[in-house]
Amino acid sequence: YVKYKPLAAKLPKKNDTVKLAAVFGLWYFQNVIFNICNKKALGLFPYPWLIASFQLLVGSLWMTGLWATKLQPFPRVNRKFLLALLGPGLFHAIGHTSACIAFTKLAVSFIHVINASEPCFSVVITALHGHFYPIHIWLSVIPIVAGCALAAVTEASFNAAGLWGALVSNVCFVLRNIYSKQSFYEYKHIDGLNLYGCISIVSLLYLIPVAVIVEGRHWLQGYQTAIAAAGSPSSFYTWVLLSGVFYHLYNQTLYQALDEISPLRFSVGDAMRRVVVIIATVIVFRNPVRPLNAVGSAMAIFGTFLYSQATAVGKKGKKKRQMITKKR
Ligand code: 3PG
């Protein structure tokens, strides 16, 4: 069969900037579409547990299709590997659901400013696990904290529940990354996309029963309201379906490209992605942006650049495995 080739493996050289730009461009495009469709879907049907489950279901079915058609080789799994998936799968499930809760309450642009604060959680949680980053890395997160605080106090869409959702998702994604590094240390032969596919399936299995318990009794009424608000069933289905397809697609592009992108380039590219998503969604949703809010957001995103530089010091030349540890 023809092996499904990672996008970035088609890049002739690492420094082939045109092709690298094409991969980043595709990733940004898919991510912008996901953010718009997710906001639309959750605006019509504010049940984040079900929408998050559906998005993971789309990804799981997509991966099953790739494996069944042998476009992507099926990973060799054993009991130990399945057990290793349990921790990262749990944090992925809670992290994604919390992000969807934030989407129901806050402007997408503000969510991305808060998500940019993930390095702050990373340094603290890593320290709690006994590994202390050098002082310059701690100092590099100060602009992120200051920028997020300024953006939060001046945010027009501010909502405490939404902010909690975004913060919990940050904590969960950091924990997912830490436990992925530990759990998958001995599974380096499993490629990033397969690992992501397996984590999606485990997360889905965690989420479905909890989603039914937490909000299942409201779904029917919510569905009728959503159809009425959308104007037609097909337009509601389209937003929900696109949110699921693009959630998987942007992650697939990312995980296929990760092995070819250095950690520093990835961190810088990720910060740029937030800038693109913030600008695109402010335009699409016509969110009001106060000047101080823009300053705070810019400071937070700039802080992530500083953090990338600080963490890159001493790492040069080392090829880091970034499987699911996409953030850092
Ligand atoms: C998710 O649910 O996975 C988030 O929307 C992704 O968040 P990120 O854009 O901060 O990676």
Average pLDDT over every residue of 178-195: 84
* Model confidence at 227: pLDDT above 80: yes
How far does residue 26's CA lie from ligand 1's centre (Å)?
A: 16
How far does residue 34's CA lie from ligand 1's centre (Å)?
A: 10
Pocket test for ligand 1, best of 51, 96, 174, 176 (most atoms within 8 A of CB): 96
Closest-CA residue, ligand 1 atom 1, reads 96
Closest-CA residue, ligand 1 atom 8, reads 115
pLDDT digits (tens, 9 = 90+) for 8-47: 444 445 556 788 889 999 999 999 999 999 999 999 999 9
Predicted pLDDT of residue 152: 95
Average pLDDT over every residue of 306-315: 80
| Closest-lying ligand 1 atom to the alpha carbon of residue 115 | 10
Q: pLDDT-based confidence at 280, cuts 50/70/90?
A: very high
Predicted pLDDT of residue 74: 94
| Closest-lying ligand 1 atom to the alpha carbon of residue 95 | 2
Quick one: angle between helices 108-115 and 142-153, nearest 10? 160
Q: pLDDT-based confidence at 4, cuts 50/70/90?
A: very low
* Model confidence at 77: pLDDT above 90: no
Task: Output 55 or 188, whichever has higher pLDDT.
Answer: 55
Average pLDDT over every residue of 191-218: 96
Q: pLDDT-based confidence at 66, cuts 50/70/90?
A: very high
How far does residue 18's CA lie from ligand 1's centre (Å)?
A: 26
- Which pTM does this prediction carry? 0.89
Predicted pLDDT of residue 315: 60
* Model confidence at 245: pLDDT above 90: yes
Predicted pLDDT of residue 2: 35
How far does residue 156's CA lie from ligand 1's centre (Å)?
A: 21
Task: Output 261 or 283, whichever has higher pLDDT.
Answer: 283
pLDDT mean across residues, the chain: 89
Pocket of ligand 1 (CB under 6 A): 96, 99, 115
Pocket test for ligand 1, best of 121, 148, 173, 275 (most atoms within 8 A of CB): 173
Query: What's the rounded Cα separation, in Å, for the pair 177 and 18?
Result: 30
Q: Of the ranges 157-171, 180-194, 281-295, which one carries the lowest mean pLDDT score? A: 180-194
Contact 299, 146 (CB under 8 A): yes
Q: Which residues of 122-148 are buried (b: 16+ CB within 10 A; e: fewer)?
A: bbebbeeeeeebeeebeebbebbeebb
Closest-CA residue, ligand 1 atom 3, reads 96
| Closest-lying ligand 1 atom to the alpha carbon of residue 327 | 11
pLDDT digits (tens, 9 = 90+) for 90-105: 999 999 999 999 999 9
* Model confidence at 264: pLDDT above 90: no
- Chain centroid, CA 37 distance in Å: 15
What is this model's ipTM?
0.94
| Closest-lying ligand 1 atom to the alpha carbon of residue 118 | 10
Predicted pLDDT of residue 3: 39
Quick one: angle between helices 48-68 and 79-105, nearest 10? 140
Closest-CA residue, ligand 1 atom 2, reads 96
- Residues of the chain with pLDDT > 90, as a percent, come to 73
How far does residue 1's CA lie from ligand 1's centre (Å)?
A: 33
Query: What's the rounded Cα separation, in Å, for the pair 181 and 131?
Result: 14
| Closest-lying ligand 1 atom to the alpha carbon of residue 96 | 2
Predicted pLDDT of residue 314: 55
How far does residue 35's CA lie from ligand 1's centre (Å)?
A: 9
pLDDT digits (tens, 9 = 90+) for 101-139: 999 999 999 999 999 999 999 999 999 989 899 999 999
* Model confidence at 322: pLDDT above 70: no
Q: What is the DSSP string of 106-165?
A: S-HHHHHHHHTTHHHHHHHHHHHTT-PPPHHHHHHTHHHHHHHHHHHHT-TT--HHHHHH
**Phi-psi category of residue 96: left, alpha or beta, with phi > 0 → left and psi -120 to 50 → alpha:** alpha
